[in-house]
Amino acid sequence: MAIVVRIPTPLRKYTAGKAEVEVEGTSVREVFESVESAHQGVKEKVFDDSGSIRRFINIFVNGEDVRHLQGPDTTVKAGDELSIVPAIAGGLPQEPSGARCGSPHFESTRFKSAGKAVPWPT
């Protein structure tokens, strides 16, 4: 039984469109060596030149962030699932109610504090 690596959409051009690939390895680093030998280009998008995981990439083994484990040296075993999750940033500020700042609905959904409307922080 191999290790399943879940590939995010932006990296699927390196895996011929596959959302998952199965490879062998005993650590996250070895898994990516196996992925790279079958699908060139993935490793350089995930690791920097020093061999560290790029700061805008998150890797999870069975739902656990490897940065909170042993990083690229985190051990894996057959049947494990490894997910590559690119960080996402940007967009408009949004209130917890779901209204976007500047929308007509925004003024009617601001937080209330002691009976007064409190503007959403910008």
How many residues does the structure list for the chain? 122
7 pLDDT above the threshold of 60: yes
Q: Domains along the chain?
A: 3-86 (3.10.20.30), 92-122 (no CATH)
Lowest-pLDDT choice from 4-13, 18-27, 109-118? 109-118
CA angle 38, 42, 48 (to 5 degrees): 130
What pLDDT is attached to residue 112?
A: 44
Q: What is the pLDDT of residues 49-69, one digit of tens each?
A: 898 988 888 899 998 888 899
Q: What is the pLDDT of residues 106-115, one digit of tens each?
A: 444 444 444 5
Place of tokens 């060139």: 40
DSSP state string for 70-109: TGGG-B--TT-EEEEEE-------B-TTSPBTTSHHHHHT
Q: What is the mean pLDDT of residues 41-48?
A: 90
8 A C-beta contact, residue 117 and residue 111: yes
Q: What is the pLDDT of residues 72-113, one digit of tens each?
A: 999 999 999 999 988 876 666 655 555 555 554 444 444 444
